[in-house]
Amino acid sequence: MDSMQITNRIDQCICFELDDLLSQFDAIMDSLMQTDVQRHTVREALTEWCELVADHVKFTVEQSQEFTELHLPGEDIFGTEV
């Protein structure tokens, strides 16, 4: 489970305000506490959750980079002053 970097994923959810994914993680943890869940089921759920967080973070970072590129001054875009 250490290889999933769950703590890092939680930090990313907080940093990027991914509240829906934090709620989903909370639901996974609640199911652990309330029911007898098989180990492989928990691993699958956490692995899927970690992948979702990674995808959302990647998408958010890409969107941010595109936004930054769109708002560069003219000299940065064309190489000359405008």
Q: Please, which pLDDT band fits residue 73 given cuts at 50, 70 and 90?
A: low
CA angle 30, 19, 46 (to 5 degrees): 45
pLDDT in tens, 6-49: 999 999 999 999 999 999 999 999 998 998 888 899 999 999 99
CB-based contacts of 74: which residues, under 8 Å, 6+ apart? 80, 81, 82
59 burial level (CB within 10 Å; 0-12, 13-18, 19+): exposed
Q: Please, which pLDDT band fits residue 65 given cuts at 50, 70 and 90?
A: confident
- What are the boundaries of each domain within the chain? 2-73
Q: Give mean pLDDT, residues 57-73.
A: 77
- Residue 72 reports pLDDT greater than 60: no
The DSSP annotation for 7-24 comes to HHHHHHHHHTT-HHHHHH
